[in-house]
Structure 1
């Protein structure tokens, strides 16, 4: 299906799992803010009930692009629109997909509740065939959002009325694409792709929904249009696994992202029952002493902090091209990847990272969630695993970092270390192919990599702090009373954050440390800090704060509207210099 160009964000929202029959439901919906959360009692979910305003989905009501622009707290919001099912969709099942809705969601189709979901960042879907009728159908969405409750991950959404510090404008309700998909009764529900370049193969495991008697999974790989492998296996119960040998070996590597196309089919008696297209990258990941090896090469990770905010769309990029452009801006500044910070990014961003050979770390939006007890685990882990499962197949993802800076509560209650330990161990069991950092910066409990955050603005003291590590000694540990180093690979995953607002146009602006008095002073500081990390033979990477300004935080290398503040050739030369740890 080719969506109408008038539909915002018309591209397929899940490019690693594509079936041909789908309908994009973005566009104009009815909308209403429900401050008192009385909408159910008032019957707003009924098909005939009208809502008071209109909104442009998938943009959140806080954003300019939504047409609403309401930035105060909203206890709950309602959405409603009609849709028709094509006549040739009579067979099979119809799924209603949501890329993301913040935070607790209930969905009705024609006054039938078709499902509920908790989590503001992970994707979900409901089968709706039982609720459909001939002609027009009505879908109603109700979302409850309370970033101040301590019971939900809010990320960098401000818990105060105004944006302040490193918290910004909130996102409520729908903020990613809503879409319909026609699927067979017996279908591929999910699949995992595990690249194995050492054995010139791809391992595939799939979960199958529906009747599986006599069903086989057939996988066919191609590279640049040429067939390079095919394999089949019978489905046992609900699952099936196979190894697909590849006749040609093309590695996915940062900056050189070879990608294979993949077709998956369920076959019975020679007939195709279900089919989907995907792609994969052939690459290996390995920690080796202090080095991070990709395809057995020590790769210094020149990362930048990317928080996924947009001036007109807040959490939602205005176009697919804007997602791609952010990666291109980072590459132009000499970075080869990013920490996707305090937010699960949408699959379209990861698609462009895959295609452009860009390294990323997956992270959840844990700020705002109270993790001083097991209640935090119950609110965090299910959504986190939904995100890991959704994004598992992207070759660009080289590690998971569920938490960031797990500070103690405002009352002084310490984090429950078992929450971090359980999330770390569960993530490792869920995905044994990637390293896991329990919490970036602090307070580490169990981790494959030990990282620190360091915003020292003095290049001399900064270098002195990491000299013992460079000489083979013990590295610097922030908060030594709360965490201890256990010999893991080590890197500084936040540094810099140098405050530079050209012309000081933002009177409320801030950054880390004292603002440089000139561009030249900025450049000297940037080079001094960055060279320290590149020169260290026992440091496998860095992450600079940050790629672009966001609202009042003006420590980006680009402005909020993505204009460069500095000479990009200079930045690329500094960041791209060969690191001491690289082969």
Structure 2
């Protein structure tokens, strides 16, 4: 059966844009492209490679050129050779992986250079002592239990159906190299307010940091401070970041030792604040830059028919955001998946707020806990780990470790305005404690602690999901009223579906006119009246169809908008506070 695909071209070196927009160096080397692969039943390195694989597309995807699953107990092996452009033996060689799902070990020239566990966050290995001026060999071994284990995996399953999608194994984000001086920047971090920003800079060795802050191409202020410390920059006439005017300040940083520049990077930040606070009548609202702001959002699961977890191109990443913004939406809820850094960069530059979910893990708790009880208003304490299939202490600790890694990796994304540790009870445990942890890690953003149901009374939002029953305002409890999933109205569009016979939707409509009429009725009769009841967040399901789910505003191939765009825009213009 011919699979659905998008129209975005994929070059010989896919995704060849610099992958870390908030710490950019001029010199780097992309290792995406054709590698060799093999799948083995044992952890022993294969004697023979089984074919080519296009990195960074997972072997389950069409764009990888493989289109085969990797099962629990098997090991996926990658191999390629590389020579370092302009190799300098006096410099450190850093090997970066955007994300590898799930556990991997990396070998350089036959020696183990390091590894990583966790399928969603970037990691870096210093491979200086392993590389040589001549050609080098790079081997990566990956294992992934998917839904047969407890690790965070989002909606990946080995046997997709309904709202559960094709699994992804191995390298699914860019692999790249940098050579840097032994004294180099290791991180840049910003904490903004409405009229200042505190800049934290870490380096591998001591030195002086020279920082320029720019508007467009003009330097407006410069500072020198010590690496490992921080610098506060104040603005007399600050330009704030909003979805309507997403202004970003550029930053140039140089590291100096004994008067010699050893590293130079470019970055950016936006001045903005997020909070949930009550108005003069005591009704809590989401605040952007100190003012009530209605978030009109879409659920966005980040799947592609040809690349699965990996967009076919950087332009494809941009296009999703552009299409949502053109329809009048100002927020995307990145649903139990983490994207490459460039996706958040595009949201920053284009002006799109983001709710960031933590990918869920553990076994599905069953329809009674995850569907039936919540729909009749029964909330279960998530301290009862067994009920939520969360008895495994090591798995709970690993989830928390990966949650911390996600926040650390994404904390400087200007666009992210809310963290979501759990969704609909899937793998949920101790959500109130997770909220406290998130507030400690990042006190600048609100938290939706248990999106949808099994509310533990924590977090900043009273978060509600409604697909079947009428949406009603919750009893006031000091948290903001957020409708974090609703709608899901569906249509099968011939020629643009993954599997017509097995397509899934909560409510099916035969054509564009019927779907649009239902969308209008839902908003005019249920959603818009809730603005007077304190509603400040609405997240419609969803941006695009995903595999068997056909409830997107756009088809899975991104080719067709299934609703009348003018009606969607008209409704969004009314969703304001």
Q: Which residue is equivalent to 1:553?
A: 549
In the aligned structure 2, how far is the partner of 1:301 from the partner of 1:495? 14
Q: 5 Å matches for 1:28-427?
A: 28-34=34-40, 36=41, 38-40=42-44, 43-44=45-46, 50-71=48-69, 73=71, 75-160=74-159, 163-197=160-194, 200-210=195-205, 212=206, 215-235=207-227, 239-246=228-235, 248-289=237-278, 290-368=284-362, 370-407=389-426, 416-417=429-430, 420-427=431-438
Name the SS of the counterpart of 1:107 in structure 2. strand
Instruction: Tell me, yes or no, if the aligned pair for 1:353 and 1:396 is still in contact at 8 Å.
Output: yes
CA distance in 2 between partners of 1:72 and 1:399 (Å): 34
Conserved 8 A contact 1:229-1:245? no
Residues 144 and 71 from structure 1, CA distance in 2 versus in 1: closer, same or farther, beyond 3 angstroms?
A: closer
RMSD of aligned alpha carbons: 2.0
CA contact (8 A) 2:100 2:172 kept: yes
Q: What is residue 481 of structure 1 aligned with on the other side?
A: none
1:456 to 453, 463, 468: 468
- Whether the aligned pair in 1 keeps the contact of 2:94 and 2:177 (CA below 8 Å) is yes
For the residue of structure 1 that corresponds to 2:489, the secondary structure is: coil
Describe the superposition over 1:219-259 as per-residue Cα deviations: whole angstroms up to 9, x where unpaired: 21101111111122224xxx211102335421110121111
SS in 2 for 1:308: coil
Do residues 577 (structure 1) and 574 (structure 2) align? yes
Name the CA distance, whole Å, in 2 between partners of 1:72 and 1:143: 10
Q: 5+ residue gaps in structure 2? A: 1-9, 279-283, 364-388
Counterpart residue number, 1:25? 31
Counterpart pick for 1:524 among 500, 517, 524: 517
Tell me, in whole angstroms, the C-alpha distance in 2 between the residues paired with 1:108 and 1:181: 17
Indicate if the aligned counterparts of 1:407 and 1:443 stay in contact, CA closer than 8 A: no
**What do the CA deviations read for 1:332-358 (whole angstroms, capped 9, x no partner)?**
222111100010111111111011000
> How far did 1:6 drift?
3.1
Q: In 2, are the aligned partners of 1:354 and 1:396 still within 8 Å (CA)? A: yes
SS of equivalent residue, structure 2 residue 157: coil
- Note closer, same or farther for the CA distance 1:517–1:80 as it changes in structure 2 (3 Å cut): closer
8 Å CA contact 1:217, 1:240 repeated in 2: no
Which range is displaced more, 93-102 or 523-532? 523-532
- 1:444 corresponds to: 455
The structural deviation recorded for 1:363 is 1.2
Name which of structure 1's ranges 337-346 and 499-508 shifts more when overlaid on structure 2: 499-508
Deviates more, 1:93-102 or 1:245-254: 245-254
Normalising by the residue count of structure 1, what TM-score does the alignment of the two structures yield?
0.87
Normalised to the residue count of structure 2, the TM-score between the two structures is 0.88
**CA-CA distance at 1:115 after TM superposition:** 0.7
Structure 1 residues not aligned, in runs of 5+: 409-414, 476-485
Q: Tell me by how many angstroms 1:109 deviates.
A: 0.3
- By how many angstroms is 1:171 displaced? 0.6
1:269 deviation in Å?
3.4
Provide the rounded CA distance (Å) in 2 between the counterparts of 1:272 and 1:534.
57
Shift of 1:383: 1.7
Structure 2 CA distance, aligned partners of 1:99 and 1:259? 24
The question of whether the paired residues in 1 share the 8 Å contact of 2:57 and 2:172 is answered with: yes
Measured in 1, the distance between the counterparts of 2:209 and 2:447 equals 31
Report SS of the residue matched to 1:243.
Answer: strand
1:503 Cα deviation after fit: 5.5
> Contact 1:546–1:555 at 8 Å: present in 2 too?
yes
The CA deviation string for residues 22-49 of structure 1, in whole angstroms up to 9 with x for no partner, is 1000011010112x1x242xx44xxxx5
Q: CA deviation at 1:368?
A: 3.9
Q: Secondary structure of 1:379's match? A: helix
Counterpart CA distance in 2 for 1:578 and 1:542 is 9
Match of 1:7 in 2: 13
Question: Using the alignment, how far apart are the partners of 1:6 and 1:267 within structure 2?
Answer: 38
2: distance between equivalents of 1:494 and 1:194?
30
Q: Is the 8 A contact 2:98 2:173 kept in 1?
A: yes
Distance 1:123 1:564 in 2: 33
Q: Distance in 2 between matches of 1:156 and 1:407?
A: 10
Distance in 2 between the 1:88 and 1:367 partners? 42
User: Is the 1:219–1:244 contact (alpha carbons within 8 Å) kept by the matching residues of 2?
Assistant: no
How many residues align structurally? 529
The whole-number CA distance in structure 2 between the counterparts of 1:206 and 1:374 is 35
* 2: CA distance, partners of 1:315 / 1:456: 29
